[in-house]
Amino acid sequence: DIQMTQSPSSVSASVGDRVTITCRASQGISSWLAWYQQKPGKAPKLLIYAASSLQSGVPSRFTGSGSGTDFTLTISSLQPEDFATYYCQQANSFPRTFGQGTKVEI
């Protein structure tokens, strides 16, 4: 299985801050990476697919980049509704695997 490692595990930030989350794959996955946002008690929401493609309806302050083994999710200006847990997921091979999550806190 491909292991996905996110850093940091949690980050404290303020409204308006730029936040960057990193995801590293244990082997190369080309650009087959997705990012999700999950709020407490809710299902995850797809933000980014294919490493950098913005899902329809997702604000442009979310950007994804990277290829191979190293990827980043950047929130350019943190909004109150962005406080949540973020997960990366590799889509290169089966089984699909997720990172352990990064909690963005106030």
Partner 1 sequence: QLQLQESGPGLVKPSETLSLTCTVSGGSVSSTNYYWGWIRQPPGKGLEWIGSIYYSGSTNYNPSLKSRVTIPVDTSKNQFSLKLRSVTAADTAVYFCVRQGDGGRSFDYWGQGALVTVSS
Asked if 2 and 26 touch (Cβ cutoff 8 Å), the reply is yes
Closest contact distance (angstroms) between CB of 102 and partner 1 is: 11
Phi and psi torsions of 82, nearest 5°:
-90, -5
**In the block, which residue shows the tokens 């091979």?**
93
Closest contact distance (angstroms) between CB of 27 and partner 1 is 16
Q: Site residues for partner 1, window 11-70 (CB under 8 A)?
A: 32, 34, 36, 42-46, 49-50, 55
Q: Whole-angstrom Cα distance, residue 91 to residue 50?
A: 8
Backbone angles phi, psi at 31, to 5 degrees: -110, 20
Helix or strand (DSSP H, E) at 57: none
What does the block give as tokens for 5? 């490692």
Of 66-105, binders to partner 1 (CB under 8 A) are 87, 89, 91, 94-101
Q: How far is the CB of 14 from partner 1 (least distance, A)?
A: 26
Q: Which lies closer to partner 1 via its Cβ, residue 13 or residue 46?
A: 46
Q: In the complex, which residues of this chain contact partner 1 (CB under 8 A)?
A: 1, 32, 34, 36, 42-46, 49-50, 55, 87, 89, 91, 94-101
